[in-house]
Amino acid sequence: MKNLVLPLGVLLALSFAAYHSDPVSSQRATAKATPTPTSDAIDRNTSTPYDGDLSIFENAQRDKDLQIDRVMDILKISGDKTVADIGAGSGWFTVRAAKRTTGKVFAVEINQEYIDHIKKRAAREKLANITTVLGKFDDPTLQKESVDAVLILKTYHEIEKPITFMKNLRGSLKKGALVGIIDKNGDGDDHVLDRDKVVAELTRAGFALKEEYDFVKDGMDYFLVFVAEGRTK
Ligand SMILES: C[S@@+](CC[C@H](N)C(=O)[O-])C[C@H]1O[C@@H](n2cnc3c(N)ncnc32)[C@H](O)[C@@H]1O
């Protein structure tokens, strides 16, 4: 009997070891340990948000170089339209939009110092229709269906979670709202980002490219105009 018990013990120990070194079960364990990327993940670098001197956005030539009046015509900023300036910086575009419309202009920023700067600027320039909004990295935190036109000027490449951000922005758009993006072709991590990547990401976020222009900075920057899929007039 003793002779029979020993081999049985060895057999049990061997099968225990075999179970735990089974390649399929260890693969399962590995798969569980690796977090699955969310559907909003991107496989490119983003630029570190600018936090320097705001005077760089106030170049006297900028209106002319960007043809900002033409940009606002295309985005139909007039009358009582509600506008959002995403990544407002010094408020350079915010104040121009606020002089064009009697509606509200939301200056969305993640930088509290810039928000304070824009508040003071709006008071100084007596533009009561400007409202500052301290947004989040992945959400402009604008009210649902509240905005007619958006400009994301030299900022999209800095948005850390662009797909989630644009999905959240989408919810704040009124029917037929226009979303403009001005940026420059490049890699993403040096304050530039390829136009094709922007189009692909906005498509994932539920937008459709409506128009495209090359007059900004004589074609050095691209100007893309999007509408939210299924939210056109
Ligand atoms: C390069 S500056 C451009 C400023 C302004 N649009 C202009 O061209 O005059 C980009 C700005 O976007 C802001 N920013 C970056 N990520 C943001 C986000 N997720 N939401 C809102 N603002 C953001 C930064 O704080 C910075 O002020």
Nearest-angstrom CA–CA distance, 159 and 165: 8
Say yes or no: CB of residue 49 within 6 Å of ligand 1: yes
Per-residue pLDDT for 16 more than 80?
no
Task: Name the percent of the chain lying above pLDDT 90.
Answer: 81
Mutate to test the pocket of ligand 1, among 95, 158, 166 (most ligand atoms within 8 A of CB): 158
Radius of gyration of the chain (CA): 26
State the pLDDT at residue 218: 94
Q: How many other C-beta atoms lie within 10 A of the C-beta of residue 97?
A: 30
CB 73 within 8 A of CB 97: no
Say yes or no: CB of residue 207 within 6 Å of ligand 1: no
Atom 9 (ligand 1) nearest CA? 57
Say yes or no: CB of residue 108 within 6 Å of ligand 1: yes
Report helix, strand or coil for 108.
strand
Report helix, strand or coil for 132.
strand
Atom of ligand 1 nearest to the CA of 92: 9
Residue 6: which pLDDT band, with cuts at 50, 70 and 90?
very low
Q: What is the mean pLDDT of the chain?
A: 88
Say yes or no: CB of residue 133 within 6 Å of ligand 1: no
Per-residue pLDDT for 133 more than 90?
yes
Q: What string of DSSP letters covers 15-56?
A: HHHHHHT-HHHHHHHHHHHSPPPPTT--SS--PPPP-S-GGG
pLDDT (average), residues 218-232: 92
User: Which DSSP symbol is given to 75?
Assistant: T
Which two structure tokens, joined as six digits, stand for 223?
């100007």
Atom 16 (ligand 1) nearest CA? 159
**Each residue's pLDDT tens digit, 81-97:** 999 999 999 999 999 99
pTM: predicted TM-score of the whole model, two decimal places: 0.86
Residue 102: which pLDDT band, with cuts at 50, 70 and 90?
very high
Per-residue pLDDT for 4 more than 60?
no
Nearest-angstrom CA–CA distance, 85 and 180: 10
CA of 159 to the centre of ligand 1 (A): 8
Between residues 44 and 34, the one the model is more confident about: 44
Say yes or no: CB of residue 91 within 6 Å of ligand 1: no
CA distances from 58 to 89, 91, 156 (A): 10, 9, 19
Per-residue pLDDT for 1 more than 70?
no
**Each residue's pLDDT tens digit, 140-173:** 999 999 999 999 999 999 999 999 999 999 999 9
Least confident of 25-29, 69-73, 137-141, 155-159: 25-29
Contacting residues for 183 by C-beta, under 8 A, at least 6 apart: 152, 154, 156, 157, 192, 193, 195, 198, 221, 222
Say yes or no: CB of residue 162 within 6 Å of ligand 1: no
Residue 79: which pLDDT band, with cuts at 50, 70 and 90?
very high
Task: Name the percent of the chain lying above pLDDT 70.
Answer: 83
State the pLDDT at residue 232: 72
CA distances from 156 to 62, 182, 185 (A): 19, 8, 12
First to last CA, the chain: 87
Say yes or no: CB of residue 111 within 6 Å of ligand 1: yes
